[in-house]
Amino acid sequence: MAAEIELGPAPTSENVIDLGLHEAFARLEELVSEAFDAALDDACPPDATSELALAHVTIRPFADHRKARTDWLAGTIRRRVANCDAHLHDAEAELGGWDGQLRDARQLCWCIAEALPDGRMEGRGRISRCARCLGVNINSTPNTLPCPGCEQRDRGGQS
């Protein structure tokens, strides 16, 4: 593969929360796009190139700020991330090993999934992380409760 994108320290779910969900998806899209372009340039096996193209298409709507909706359910995002990860895994099998970009992209998939709210976004209980933590407009998801940290910040306290 070609030159790796500088991602900084290894992605973690905390980094994803700090970035915001759309920015994390933009970075994931950038990593997958660069890997796809490199696969084309390096004449990688067609199956690997196809899997990278599918991974790119899977996450592209989430990375495009103009098209990104702020009220997607966490389950929908998790499915997209899982599909992207599966395509990256299949590309790795065709290539015979990970390079840095694919490894970082796959780790970022896991971090996004881990950073998402735990699925109780419809107001049926407390959540460990909320849409606001992830940079999602909480007004577009009216049934979403803020997490304890955001609730405390709203009251003027430290989290």
The mean per-residue pLDDT over the stretch 138-153 comes to 56
Where do we find the tokens 């696969």? 39
- Dump pLDDT digits (tens) for 83-142: 888 888 888 888 876 667 788 888 888 777 777 665 433 333 334 455 556 555 444 444
The pLDDT confidence band at residue 71, using thresholds 50, 70 and 90, is: very low
Residues 57 and 42: their CA atoms lie apart, in Å, by 20
Report d(CA 25, CA 22) in Å as an integer.
5
Compute the chain's Rg from CA coordinates.
Answer: 17
Res 150: pLDDT: 67
CA distance 119 to 143: 12
Question: What average pLDDT does range 38-53 have in this prediction?
Answer: 83
pLDDT digits (tens, 9 = 90+) for 3-41: 333 445 556 666 666 666 767 778 888 888 888 888 888
Across the range 139-157, mean pLDDT stands at 59
Neighbouring C-alpha atoms within 13 Å toward the C-beta of 118: 9
Paired tokens of 14: 């905390």
The reported pTM is 0.61
Give the start-to-end residue ranges of the domains of the chain. 13-116, 117-159
CA 97 remoteness from chain centre: 22
For the chain, percent of residues with pLDDT exceeding 90: 0
